[in-house]
Amino acid sequence: MIAQVGDRITGMSPRPRRPDARCPMRPGEPCTLCAMGATGPQDCPLVYLVMTDDELRAGVHDAAIRAHASRIRQPRNGGSS
């Protein structure tokens, strides 16, 4: 397949865009690779520590539920009805 990239034509097809990884520690936010050596949540030492501790994992779960509930209550267009 031939693809046009900017002003040049290549014989390669464009790569499909990968979804952005979400940070389990900050609900609704993307992974910012804040831990040195991490390539995403799958090998983040902070995520590992929190997810292997039952109390911490429950706290993150509760925070995610509260964040989701607050996003649902906010109007999307910012205006009033």
| 3-state SS, one letter per residue, for the chain | CCEEECCEEECCCCCCCCCCCECCCCCCCECCCCCCCCCCHHHCHHHHHHHCCHHHHHHHHHHHHHHHHHHHHCCCCCCCC
Examine the pLDDT at 1 and tell me if it is beyond 90: no
Which residue did the predictor score with more confidence, 7 or 67?
Answer: 67
Task: Please write the tens of the pLDDT for every residue from 15-72.
Answer: 666 667 888 888 778 888 888 888 888 999 999 999 999 999 999 899 889 888 888 8
Domain ranges of the chain: 38-74
